[in-house]
Amino acid sequence: MRILLISGIVFVHVPFDPQTSPFLGANGFIDWVRVFLGDSLFRVGVPCLSAISGYLMFRRGLDAFDYGTTIRSKARTVLLPFLIWNLSFLALVLLAQKSGIGFGYLPDAINASPREMATLAFAIEGLPINVPLYFLRDLLLCIVLAPVLGILIKRYPLTILALFFAYAVLPVPNGIFLKKSILFGFSCGIYASLHQIDIRALDRHAAMISTLFLMATVMLATALYWTGPDYPVWIDMLRSLTAIGGIVGSWAISVILIRSRLGERLSRSQGLSFWIFCAHYPLLIAFWMVWNRAAQPSLYPLFYFSAPILALLILVAAHKVAKRLTPKLHAVLTGSRADRSPSATMRKPDTGTNQKGWPDTHSPKEKATR
């Protein structure tokens, strides 16, 4: 499921400029497709990935949650990769801008104030230089707050979820989060874990839910296309609402896709989704810089559809090479995800072992109460 969501996120970050904005309508239906993919359908990735993280964090229950162990583990699997990928890209941008390359495509890092540099490096007050990594930054905040969130959602689930829903959808200040839907998605995952919600109960309605969700994204894309890029407040709220609804919609779609041979193969991709997530933005920016030197704005649709596919092909190949030639470095860059794949257990039958054949840690008594 993660690999599909993150492959979609690649389309969200395809760069464009005012001359090639889809809201100009210069390319008709093609521009609507761009809005549909980049501003509607694939915007569900962030809240859905957040929900998966919250679900997995509390899958053993609140009593078995070890905060110290979790913090140490996430420092290795989330914080360290965030720092390596983001600071490496920042160093590359600084070198390029010292040579007069990259201005206009990326923030002016070479002339940034210490406060601006801290944000570019660590996402203190805004987006990091490697923009998609804001998700990891907000995820780390959720992890730090996890014990409080767990207790509140265990005791007052509907009240807390209603408050976080309002925070995510209504036009209120973001506060400490860069993306408000991350907190709500993470909390939904915690709720499903702690209250033992049978998320597979949705599977029998997968076709209907998937159809309704896709219809909602089509209608949203149409509204965005006609009102963008400066959306009215109610459209922006509708976009947030659709992205949150994508948590259920994406799960339903995954029910259908996981039954295919391709879906089964993708579910076993160890570390690939995280690799793509961290590395795709710098690659897209490099493609964009090269494209602007060689092509006309009228050919932009060719760039839009080819750049993500080319990026995915390159990243899949690079991931395979890194995993084979430098396994230790690959493990660090992917947060040691090559050694584990816990999300795969979410759709595995309960056979007493997990997806790698390790014993199930739940006791028979615990299994009987599930």
Query: Are 338 and 271 spatial neighbours (Cβ–Cβ below 8 Å)?
Result: yes
Query: Are 295 and 303 spatial neighbours (Cβ–Cβ below 8 Å)?
Result: yes
Query: Are 182 and 142 spatial neighbours (Cβ–Cβ below 8 Å)?
Result: yes
Q: Rounded to two decimals, what is the model's pTM? A: 0.88
**Residue 290's pLDDT band (boundaries 50, 70, 90)?**
very high
What's the confidence (pLDDT) of residue 337? 61
Compute the distance between CA of residue 163 and CA of residue 187 in angstroms, rounded to an integer.
11
pLDDT for residue 343 is more than 60 = no
Q: Which amino acid, one-letter code, is at 205?
A: H
pLDDT digits (tens, 9 = 90+) for 212-251: 999 999 999 999 999 988 889 999 999 999 999 999 999 8
pLDDT digits (tens, 9 = 90+) for 18-64: 999 999 988 999 999 999 999 999 999 999 999 999 999 998 889 88
What's the confidence (pLDDT) of residue 321? 95
Q: What are phi and psi of 103, to 5 degrees?
A: -65, 135
What's the confidence (pLDDT) of residue 2? 84
106: helix, coil or strand?
strand
What's the confidence (pLDDT) of residue 338? 52
Compute the distance between CA of residue 20 and CA of residue 40 in angstroms, rounded to an integer.
18
* Distance of alpha carbon 210 from the chain centroid: 20
What's the confidence (pLDDT) of residue 360? 37
Half-sphere exposure of 288 (CA within 13 A, CB side): 20
The DSSP-derived string for 329-369 is HHHHHTTTGGG--GGGGGGS--SSB-TTSPBP-S-HHHHHH
pLDDT for residue 358 is more than 50 = no
